């Protein structure tokens, strides 16, 4: 470290996960040996530097750019190489330590003729402890995929090494050409070849996912694809860009399974110099495994593949087949897709499909079959994936020998009729509904249809007309079926019979009520008449008595009034006499005298 003002910079690789590189630099310049990814840096302290160094530097890879490949040895040591490979080893001297070879390191180097035209080489480094019995080292690389073996023998100049006092020689050799993504085995041994004195390592060359290689190595330049769909014409127009201009370009449609399988007629070659850089390919159905693939027209070129319809599974579920001989319904995936399949019964409202137990099966690539299946229009297949579920009813189009059941009520009889187009066995069950999806059997009848309607007649009772009573029809000669259920039976005949009885009872009750009302009215009339007669007699008696009393009172009053009038007359007479006496002269004189 130079001084406190220097900074530590952390450089994060955006291309590979966990690829971290830490470098120490001063303020004036910062150099990278052609690192492979875009970088991002910021100020950090020594503690951060140490932490990231421990956890990140071990996963750091670099691709060194070179102008020419060659051999380099430590300063002061002259060395030269030639292609050679030793097959046999000799026993080493007892004084020769196995550690004369050390620090074998391998990386990737890249040499470019021009833009987008680069080659990859192994950059091999190692250290050799000089010994008078060791004349040099032999370095080999073996490519597992191609079985190619490359070797070089490197010789040291002892005279110059002795003069300079060099005890260890560092060797760098970078002329073994490799391809992107190859797995190689590298070894370094002594010259002459002493047994058991050898270093070896496995190395994986970066593949085309590396950001540097993807834009520099011709075999990695697969181009970029864009597409446009014409659903009416059922075509896909593919456009290519950023491809190698000096090569033609292949495009095709394929179905991705273990490999991407060809689709007949869905291939085109875009010639170099084609200004539009596009081709139109036909398709039959949009499937989740339908992919667009493109690659440059040279050997071992990298292919690019687009699979844009991964979630378009709707067409996938239509691939249902039925074998009338074995009564087997089957579905086979056109594309590999994790799916759970089961049979279900679509209810009358078409809103719910009731799962049939013991019919569930999961698959990715394999055919799913159900043997001896009832071909009823409401028997369906349900497909469930992580993104949703779909229902297909293969027998709902009328061309299959289905069956039906209806219930009618006539003459106090409940008639159950099963109509089948083919020979089949059925059960008719009278059951009591205890819950929406449960019905307890009460009676069971077995029928055989020879392709003509068959009937079951039941005596109509009040119990059958209960809203909880249902009639079920079930096909019994197949493995997969579901009962047709009819509830809330309309018992009109029975209701008419019981209705007439109710009318008679009501009429009798009404007549009784009217008779009772008439009797009560008559008795009330008689009682009321007697009451009014007694009341009239009482009133007559009272009137006579009042009249008699009135006459007595009147006569008494008349007598008293006559007496009063007589007395009044007497008083008036006396008054007149008194007045006369007062006005007489004698009385006047008497008064004056007083």
**Residue 566 binned pLDDT confidence (cut-offs 50, 70, 90):** confident
Q: Please name the residue that has the structure tokens 């694809």.
A: 225
d(C-alpha 59, C-alpha 52), whole Å = 11
pTM of the model: 0.57
Expressed in angstroms, the distance from the first to the final Cα of the chain is 178
Domains and CATH numbers, the chain: 7-61 (no CATH), 64-214 (2.60.40.2160), 221-306 (2.60.40.10), 314-392 (2.60.40), 403-493 (2.60.40.2150)
Could you give the C-alpha distances from 280 to 243, 253, 289, 293, in angstroms and in order?
18, 10, 19, 13
Contact 160, 167 (CB under 8 A): no
Tokens representing residue 166 in the block: 């060099």
| CA-wise closest residue to 257 among 235, 280, 287 | 287
Could you give the C-alpha distances from 121 to 69, 108, 190, in angstroms and in order?
8, 6, 23
d(C-alpha 306, C-alpha 224), whole Å = 10
Instruction: Order the strands of the 71-73 sheet from edge to edge.
Output: 63-65, 101-114, 117-129, 168-178, 71-73
**pLDDT higher than threshold 50 for residue 383:** yes
Contact 362, 343 (CB under 8 A): no
Q: If you average pLDDT over residues 39-51, what whole number do you get?
A: 42
Question: What is the per-residue pLDDT for 158?
Answer: 65
**pLDDT higher than threshold 50 for residue 40:** no
Residue 71, Cβ density class (10 Å: 0-12 exposed, 13-18 middle, ≥19 buried)? middle
Q: Could you tell me which residues come within 8 angstroms of residue 344 by beta carbon, excluding any fewer than 6 positions away?
A: 353, 354, 355, 356, 379, 380, 381, 382, 391
Q: Poorest-confidence range of 188-197, 221-230, 362-371, 395-404?
A: 395-404
Contact 41, 14 (CB under 8 A): no
| pLDDT tens string 215-231 | 888 888 888 999 999 99
Looking at the chain, the whole-number percentage of residues with pLDDT higher than 90 is 34
Chain centroid offset of residue 471 CA: 37
| pLDDT tens string 467-483 | 788 888 888 889 998 88
Question: What is the per-residue pLDDT for 459?
Answer: 64
Question: What is the per-residue pLDDT for 88?
Answer: 84
| pLDDT tens string 146-158 | 899 999 999 987 6
Residue 279's DSSP bridge partners are 238
Residue 392's DSSP bridge partners are 381
Where are any strands of DSSP class E within 386-477? 388-392, 403-410, 413-420, 423-435, 438-450, 454-459, 469-475
| pLDDT tens string 169-224 | 999 999 999 999 999 999 999 988 999 899 999 999 999 889 899 888 888 888 89
Question: What is the per-residue pLDDT for 12?
Answer: 29
Question: What is the per-residue pLDDT for 62?
Answer: 72
| pLDDT tens string 306-357 | 999 988 999 999 999 999 888 899 999 999 999 999 999 988 777 789 999 8
d(C-alpha 535, C-alpha 542), whole Å = 11
Q: If you average pLDDT over residues 29-38, what whole number do you get?
A: 35
Q: Which residue has the higher pLDDT, 163 or 403?
A: 403
| CA-wise closest residue to 339 among 394, 395, 387 | 387
**pLDDT higher than threshold 60 for residue 236:** yes
């Amino acid at each position: 470290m130079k001084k406190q003002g220097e900074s530590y910079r952390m450089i994060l690789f955006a291309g590979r996960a966990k690829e971290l590189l830490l470098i120490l630099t001063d303020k004036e310049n910062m150099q990278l040996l052609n690192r492979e990814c875009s970088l991002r840096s910021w100020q950090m302290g020594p503690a951060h530097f140490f932490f990231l160094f421990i956890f990140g530097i071990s996963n750091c890879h670099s691709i060194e750019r070179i102008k020419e490949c060659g051999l380099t040895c430590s300063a002061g040591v002259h060395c030269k190489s030639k292609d050679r490979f030793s097959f046999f080893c000799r026993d080493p001297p007892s004084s020769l330590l196995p550690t004369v070879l050390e620090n074998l390191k391998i990386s990737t180097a890249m040499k470019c003729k021009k833009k987008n035209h680069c080659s990859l080489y192994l950059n091999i480094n190692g250290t050799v402890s000089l010994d008078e019995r060791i004349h040099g080292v032999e370095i080999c690389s073996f490519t597992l995929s191609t079985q190619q073996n490359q070797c070089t023998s490197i010789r040291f100049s002892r005279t110059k090494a002795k003069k300079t006092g060099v005890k260890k020689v560092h060797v760098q050799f970078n002329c073994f050409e490799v391809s992107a993504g190859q797995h190689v085995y590298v070894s370094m041994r002594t010259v002459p070849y002493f047994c058991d004195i050898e270093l070896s390592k496995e190395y994986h060359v970066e593949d085309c996912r590396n950001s540097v290689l993807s834009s520099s190595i011709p075999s990695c330049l697969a181009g970029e694809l864009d597409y446009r769909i014409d659903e009416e014409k059922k075509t896909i127009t593919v456009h290519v860009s950023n491809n190698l201009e000096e090569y033609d370009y292949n495009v095709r449609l394929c179905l991705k399974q273990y490999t991407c399988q060809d689709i007949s007629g869905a291939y085109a070659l875009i010639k170099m110099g084609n200004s539009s850089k596009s081709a139109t390919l036909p398709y039959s159905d949009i499937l989740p495994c339908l992919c667009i693939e493109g690659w440059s027209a040279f050997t071992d070129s990298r292919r690019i593949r687009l699979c844009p319809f991964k979630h378009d599974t709707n067409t996938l579920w239509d691939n249902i087949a039925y074998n009338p001989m074995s009564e087997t319904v089957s579905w086979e995936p056109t594309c590999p897709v994790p799916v759970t399949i089961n049979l279900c019964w679509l209810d009358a409202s078409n809103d719910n499909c009731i799962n049939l137990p013991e019919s569930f099966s999961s698959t990715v690539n394999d055919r799913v079959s159900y043997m001896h299946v009832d071909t009823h229009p409401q028997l369906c297949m349900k497909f469930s994936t992580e993104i949703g579920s779909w229902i297909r009813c293969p027998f709902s189009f009328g061309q299959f020998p289905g069956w039906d059941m209806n219930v009618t009520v006539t003459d106090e009889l409940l008639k159950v009729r099963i109509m089948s187009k083919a020979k089949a066995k059925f059960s008719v069950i009278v059951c009591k509904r205890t819950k929406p999806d449960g019905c307890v059997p009460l009676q069971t009848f077995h029928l055989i249809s020879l392709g003509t309607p068959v009937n079951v007649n039941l005596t109509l009772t009040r119990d059958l007309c209960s809203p909880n009573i249902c009639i079920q029809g079930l096909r019994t000669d197949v493995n997969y079926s579901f009962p047709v259920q009819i509830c809330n039976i309309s018992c009109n005949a029975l209701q008419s019979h019981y209705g007439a009885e109710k009318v008679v009872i009501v009429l009798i009750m009404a007549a009784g009520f009217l008779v009772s009302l008439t009797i009560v009215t008559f008795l009330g009339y008689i009682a009321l008449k007697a009451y009014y007669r007694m009341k009239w007699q009482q009133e007559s008696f009272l009137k006579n008595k009042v009249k008699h009393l009135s006459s007595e009172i009147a006569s008494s009053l008349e007598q008293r009034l006559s007496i009063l009038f007589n007395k009044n007359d007497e008083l008036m007479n006396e008054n007149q006499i008194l007045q006369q006496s007062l006005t007489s002269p004698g009385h006047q004189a008497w008064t004056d005298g007083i």
